[in-house]
Each structure stands twice: as C-alpha cells, then as structure tokens.
Structure 1
C-alpha cells in the first residue's frame, strides 16, 4: 500500500509540474505580446505571430517537458546537477520557443535547439556516473581552501580599492568602470570564482550547519564584492542560494521543480500586472526581457551571422588561437553587437545554444551536449544525499551563466570547474531534510 500511495503522489506532482511548465510558457507569451513587443520593438522584439510555429513550439514543449519530468519524478536517486539541467530548460528552450513563434524566427535553428535539448536530456539520464573514492580530511581541505580564497579577495580589494560598501544600484556602472580601470591582478578569475562558486558553496554549507558567525563573514565578502565591482549578480547570489536551499529543505527534491517553475512564472506575471496596474515596464524589462528574451534573441542572431559567414571552431579562444586563425577583428560578442545593434562596444554574449552553433554548426549540438553532461556526471559522482542540499543552491547560480555565456567561459572564468573541484571536498551534511516531496 505504501508503494502504491507513493506512486500516486509522484504521478500527481508530475501532472501538476507538467501543467505549470505549459502555463509558464503561456505567461511568457502574454508578456511578450502585451509588454515586450510593444515597448522594445526597436530592439528587435517584433510581433509577427506565426500560427504554425506557435503550434510547433507547443508540441515540442509538451514532448520535451514530459520527457524531462518523467525522469525527474520516477527515478529513485536524485542528483544535484539535475536541478541545474531543469533550470536551463526553463531559461533557454522555453523562451526561445516563445520568440520563435511570436517573432517568426528561423525554423531551422528552433529545430537545432530542440535536437540539442533532446540530446542533453537523453545523455543525462542514460550516461552513468563514475565510481570515485572519497577524499580524506575533506572538511579540513574545504574550510582551508575556502578561507584562503576569501582572504585573497579581501586582500586585493583592500590594496587596490579600499574597504567600503555601496548599495545604490544607480551607481553600479560608475563603480564598474572604476573596478575595470584598477586592473587588479587575477581579479577577472579570482573574484568570479569566489563570488559565483566558492562563496555560494560555503554560504550554503554554513547556513545548513547553522554556523552563524561564518555565515555573516560569507555575506560580508559577497556584499563587498558587489560594492567594489558593481556586478549586481554578486548581490543577488546569496538570495538565490538561500531561497533554493530553503525550498529544498522544506518541500523536498520533487516539489522543488514544481515550485521553482511556479515562482518563475509568477515573476513573469508580476511584470504584466505591474504594467497594467501602474504603467510600469521596469519589472518586465529586467526580469522577463533581460533574463529570458535577450538570450533567445541573441541565439537567433548568432545563428543568422555564423550560418552565412562560417563557424569559428574555437579559434576565438586563447587556448586554440595559436594554431587556428580567427577571421574577424572583433571577438564574437562585440561582433554581434556591432552587426545587429550598431554598437561594437556592446558585448552581446550568448549561452550554450548560440555558442555551440557558432563554433561547430549542427555538430555543436552533439559536442557541447556531450561535454556539458560529462561535467555534470563528474559532479554527481562525488555527491550523495548528504551533499545535495549544500550543492543545489550554488548550482542554481550557474543557470544564468550557461544561459548568457559561452561554455568554456562558464567553465573557466565563471568558475564552474572550481565548483566541481570544491564539490569533491564538501564535508557531509548531517542536517535532516526531505528527499521526497
């Protein structure tokens, strides 16, 4: 009886999650029709509804949505990178399908993205995790490495910028300019590694352990990074990490997916209500257009440009530039900024979809999905149920990174590889949690 009851619960959550995914797409479409296309038409967000493409995009969404949810809700073992994979589905594929249908974008690239996502989901659930040995003295290594990295950041900020705090969002561009001009050694890597990988992981660990003194220190470093670099993401990372951790602990791994989709959909709906009730488009611009539709639009621009001019085959990266010739005077983000926005200074960075196609064309779907899943499986190999709730919040941070930046950039500059290395030495977490929703 217990197994039958459990299966009914799983089935119920599955259908609710599936319904919420479709509703999320509907709300995105409404936001695009009522707000985005009306006020941001000059940026390329035209309203050209193609009924056949609307039907196509919803059919593929239903198939892929069911595909990923079946594996999520009917598997016994839960792995942390699965949540990141699901967030990427919400952040990349669904908005791209919306733009494809409502702006009459190229069918071939939409099919490419659908194929890419089919491969990602298939590989993730078919490929096994690796057998690895546990690391001895992991707690000592984890705390020592974390403190050393944090102290290095503290030293560099103190030496080159001074210790001060700013919470005025209107000054971020001025602060960012000052930070760039300071030319701090290794800051481009070190600050990102600490702010996006090491500190979120440490924050999650000490929060779960209720170690409040070290928790305050972790928040202090995060606020200092925001104040001295002007990068708003450093400010919002703790909110995201702690929010995901709280949902995971309170509702369990299964309901986390349902609630996350619901919250994202409500955020998009909030932007629509904000416009109709107060005439304000700021919420829709920042949370809907910037988060979901800008990466989707840029993906189509990358497809358009590199289809007609040839692929880069990684020649734009320093690692490969020595023996591969890069044919342009500008790097890809500034190239797209120059051609499609008339602003060479604009860095029109794109995520895994545009990046994979830019480098290898249709072969990129196979190569990049394989590389991404390989690293996800390595990460999962070092995790057990005790580590899940420590990792799941920090991993959510990288959903935005993979949506807006090239794969190799996320791995190196943004610190995903650092997160992977630190996941090996995370001490076991003994706080009780709910694994079933």
Structure 2
C-alpha cells in the first residue's frame, strides 16, 4: 500500500475488522447461494457485490474506511436483493407489434445519429481504433460538444444501438446488424470513449450462453485476479502497473473516495442543491462537487473525483440520502425485473451498474441514460424471455 500512499491508501490491517467484514461477507454469500433469486436480481446483485462490497470489505479491514461506509454499501445491496426480488411493480406502456420493434429502433437510431455525422465526421481520427490519439479526440469533442450531443451520445451507445444489435442477432437481420456495428464504431470515433467498446463487449458477453454461470465465473475470476496480482507484486514489487490498473483504479479508488465524501460532507450536506434542488436551495460552492473533492483531497483543481450511489446519497442528506438512493435503486430494479426481459439485454445493465458505482444518481439517470434505459425496457425489452431459447 505504501506505493499508493499518494492517493491516500495505507496499510493498517485490523484483525477484528477482518472478522466483522468476513462474517457479513460469508453470510451474504450464503444468501446469494441458497435463497431463490430472480435471474435479473441475481445478475445485478452479483455485479454490485463484486464491484462495491468486496472492495469496501477489504478497505474496511485495512482501516481506510469507516464501518458506516461498509454498512451503507450493504444497505444498497440488500435494497436490490429484497425490494428487487420480493416487490413487484408492474408498469404498463403502449405496446408495439413485435415485427415493428426493430424497424422503430433503426428509425430512432438513425434519426439521432445523423447530427453526429454532420458535426463530427470532419474530425474523425482512425488512429483511435488503435487506441491512439485518444486524449486529442476527447479534447476536440469537449470543444465542439453541445447538450444535444452530450445526452444523445449516451442514449445511442448505451441503449438504442445495443438494442438494435440484439434484435438483429435474434432475427438474423444482418444488414441492420452492420448498421448497428458501424454506428457504434462511429460513435467511438466521435469521442474516443472506451465505455463504447466496453459496452459492446459486455453486450456480446451476456448475449450468448448461461448468464448465471458467467456471473459465478466473473465473481471467481475477480477474486483470483486481485489475489494473483497482489501475490505477484509481493514477489516483484517493480510490477506495479497491472496491480494499479486492475485493483486500485477499478476496485479500490471508489471505496477510498467514499471515505473522502463522508469526511467532507459529514457536517454540511448539500440537500441536492447541486442538482435537482438547485431552484430551492442555494448551492454554496463555486464548482461541482467532484472538483471540490479533487482539490481538497488530491490537491488538484483539475481532478474530478466522481463517485457513486453511496457517496452521492451521503453528500446530499447523510445516511438518509443513502437510504433514499438505496430504496430508489431497489424500486428501479424491481420495475425492470417485472418486465421479464431476456438475458440477451443484460449487458446493458452491467454498464448501468458501473455508472451507478462511479457517478451520482442524477447523472446516471440523465447523462448515463438511466431513464432512457427504463423507457426502452418498457417499450422494446418487455416480455422478451422467448429470445433466450433462440
């Protein structure tokens, strides 16, 4: 940990903390293994367990976060588990004939992407496909971006085009499949955001095969990777980069940021004055919250320390905010579960969970297309379990 001390990490292992975190951890694993759980809830729960519960348990054992942060993440997990699994919130929207859905998705996708061709085509850099000139392309995107492109970019690459690809694969419409693949490649070239590539990989990963077996493999692989890189680093402490990328950035930085958010906002919650409550409550800072955390804890005015659902809830209303966020997420997941969607769409929700763990809830719903994904589930994904056998 000493090599990561510049980030706020330190090694201060506590055996009593390990016993507590391990006891809750094993009890939760027992529930996951032996209680009958809806496949979609199991899917969402395992992802949150791997990306949030495991890192929080480890950082708590090393006295990097308080027990309240660990329990906050367990509250989010059990909100998903209990509300999602045992409460049914069916929602009805107008229905569309099955043979018209693909046509409608193609229409909306092309309608929304045409302005991107007009605006971004002159700036396309094919080197981005080789992961070169990434930051140069992002700088150009920031310069010419507008709210339209900011919001529809996410709707296209996280919702509409992936749905287009799923329908094209299911019905073997290879021309529309090519349209979808080409559109995703072009969107990647518009902003060089690797999440576009990640979303495509996740979509295909969960399109084929048994989703439950893949999740068990994902859970096992995650633990093996963290332990292996840790052992490898112990043997050869010059090999820091793999451990940094896989373990620190993906798993432990969000957990550490939780402690910073809890520390900073313990006495002065925002009450959503920086987002949905801005018209009712004065926002007391001169910059967005992530930049405040970056400046205070990383001594950098350019670092945006974005973090997820627990930090967002606590920064707005303390533990009440965490409870509100957890209940909201549980209800959101419950609605999706009640729609009986196909496993072939699950990759979309993996990407959503990554956003929930790394961004505030309003940002997830608006900028990262949480609302658009819910609407698309009601219109295009509902009662598609028949796809699972195709």
TM over 0.5: yes
Q: Are residues 1:328 and 2:285 paired?
A: yes
What number of residue pairs does the alignment pair up? 385
List aligned pairs for 1:329-368, cutoff 5 A: 329-368=286-325
Q: Are residues 1:48 and 2:12 paired?
A: yes
Q: Are residues 1:425 and 2:382 paired?
A: no
Select 1:58's aligned residue among 10, 16, 22: 22
CA shift for structure 1 position 380 = 2.1
Q: Are residues 1:312 and 2:274 paired?
A: no
CA shift for structure 1 position 176 = 0.6
Unaligned runs of 5+ in 1: 1-36
Q: CA distance change for structure 1 residues 339 and 245 in 2, over 3 Å: closer, same or farther?
A: same
Identify the residue that residue 181 of structure 2 maps to in structure 1: 219
- Return the alpha-carbon distance in structure 1 between the equivalents of residues 228 and 195 of structure 2: 21
2:133 is paired with a residue whose SS is helix
Identify the residue that residue 298 of structure 1 maps to in structure 2: 257
- Return the alpha-carbon distance in structure 2 between the equivalents of residues 272 and 223 of structure 1: 35
CA shift for structure 1 position 68 = 3.3
Q: Tell me, yes or no, if the aligned pair for 2:138 and 2:191 is still in contact at 8 Å.
A: yes
CA shift for structure 1 position 197 = 2.0
CA-based RMSD: 2.5
State the Cα deviation string for residues 156-214 of structure 1 (Å, max 9, x = none).
24334435532233421111111000124511100011112222222233233333332
State the Cα deviation string for residues 279-303 of structure 1 (Å, max 9, x = none).
5433322222111111111111111
- Return the alpha-carbon distance in structure 2 between the equivalents of residues 206 and 262 of structure 1: 32
2:328 is paired with a residue whose SS is helix
Q: CA distance change for structure 1 residues 381 and 362 in 2, over 3 Å: closer, same or farther?
A: same
Identify the residue that residue 26 of structure 1 maps to in structure 2: none
CA shift for structure 1 position 215 = 2.2
Identify the residue that residue 260 of structure 1 maps to in structure 2: 218
Q: Are residues 1:413 and 2:367 paired?
A: yes
List aligned pairs for 1:239-254, cutoff 5 A: 239-246=201-208, 249=209, 252-254=210-212
Q: Are residues 1:95 and 2:64 paired?
A: no
TM-score normalised to structure 2 length: 0.90
2:259 is paired with a residue whose SS is helix
CA shift for structure 1 position 382 = 2.2
Q: Tell me, yes or no, if the aligned pair for 1:132 and 1:381 is still in contact at 8 Å.
A: no
Q: CA distance change for structure 1 residues 202 and 106 in 2, over 3 Å: closer, same or farther?
A: same
List aligned pairs for 1:136-147, cutoff 5 A: 136-147=96-107
Unaligned runs of 5+ in 2: none
Q: Are residues 1:208 and 2:164 paired?
A: no
- Return the alpha-carbon distance in structure 1 between the equivalents of residues 187 and 237 of structure 2: 34
CA shift for structure 1 position 347 = 0.9
2:96 is paired with a residue whose SS is coil
Q: Tell me, yes or no, if the aligned pair for 2:206 and 2:345 is still in contact at 8 Å.
A: no
Q: Are residues 1:390 and 2:344 paired?
A: yes
State the Cα deviation string for residues 51-78 of structure 1 (Å, max 9, x = none).
111111111111222233333xx24xx3
Q: Tell me, yes or no, if the aligned pair for 2:93 and 2:378 is still in contact at 8 Å.
A: no
- Return the alpha-carbon distance in structure 1 between the equivalents of residues 41 and 134 of structure 2: 32
2:134 is paired with a residue whose SS is helix
CA shift for structure 1 position 224 = 1.6
CA shift for structure 1 position 81 = 4.8
1:361 is paired with a residue whose SS is helix
State the Cα deviation string for residues 96-148 of structure 1 (Å, max 9, x = none).
11111124432333233334433442222231232646713254245324432
Q: CA distance change for structure 1 residues 143 and 50 in 2, over 3 Å: closer, same or farther?
A: farther
Select 1:117's aligned residue among 68, 77, 92: 77
Identify the residue that residue 22 of structure 1 maps to in structure 2: none
Q: Tell me, yes or no, if the aligned pair for 2:342 and 2:388 is still in contact at 8 Å.
A: no
